[in-house]
């Protein structure tokens, strides 16, 4: 009889240890990893001019994406951007490019710019989190991302000019 009681106590102890271990793992899994939000870093200024009358449409503070990591990440994982801000992607050569909105949390207007700094094409109101390709339609060297709706607000047209400077 004593043998059965000892065996029973042994199973209770094993069960308790297993249960407590599972509870500890469950509590550990609930802990969220806190990350610092990605904030805008002004790295330059960009001005857009009307092509026909050479008037300034707008001036933006820009963050610049030049490295492979920066161009791959872009505005992903950010909550928002102010209307006077944008991200300028600079590529080494003029060629066809396509962008997508994977892990981008807010809608954007994407402006494709030729090497001579004229607007070649654009994509309006790109939807957050979509992985559909948004092609430039023609070879380009620069891409400017701004908040959705600004292309229409500024009445941008193909041929409008862009001027930027790095800080």
Residue-wise pLDDT for 112-138, tens only, equals 999 999 999 999 999 999 999 999 999
CA distance 22 to 17: 9
CATH number of the domain within which 128 lies: 2.60.120.1140
Confidence of residue 19 (pLDDT cuts 50, 70, 90): low
Residue-wise pLDDT for 47-103, tens only, equals 999 988 879 999 999 999 999 999 999 999 999 999 999 999 999 999 999 999 999
Intra-chain end-to-end CA distance of the chain, in Å: 85
One domain, residues 58 and 85: yes
One domain, residues 27 and 81: no
Determine, yes or no, domain membership for 39: no
Determine, yes or no, domain membership for 9: yes
One domain, residues 83 and 2: no
Structural domain range at position 2: 1-33
Determine, yes or no, domain membership for 159: yes
One domain, residues 91 and 139: yes
pTM value > 0.85: no
Nearest alpha-carbon partner for 62 in 80, 38, 36, 89: 89
């Amino acid at each position: 009889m004593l043998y059965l009681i000892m065996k029973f106590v042994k199973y209770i102890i094993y069960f308790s240890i297993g249960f407590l271990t599972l509870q500890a793992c469950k509590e550990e899994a609930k802990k969220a990893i806190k990350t610092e939000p990605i904030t805008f870093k002004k790295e330059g200024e960009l001005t857009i001019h009307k092509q026909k009358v050479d008037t300034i449409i707008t001036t933006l503070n820009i963050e610049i994406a030049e490295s492979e990591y920066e161009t791959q990440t872009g505005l992903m994982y950010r909550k928002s951007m102010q209307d006077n801000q944008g991200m300028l992607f600079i590529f080494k050569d003029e060629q066809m490019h396509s962008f997508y909105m994977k892990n981008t949390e807010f809608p954007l207007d994407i402006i494709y710019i030729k090497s001579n700094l004229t607007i070649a094409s654009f994509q309006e109101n790109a939807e957050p989190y979509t992985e559909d390709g948004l092609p430039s339609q023609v070879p380009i060297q620069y891409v400017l991302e701004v908040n959705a709706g600004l292309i229409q607000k500024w009445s941008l047209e193909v041929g409008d000019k862009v001027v930027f400077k790095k800080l």
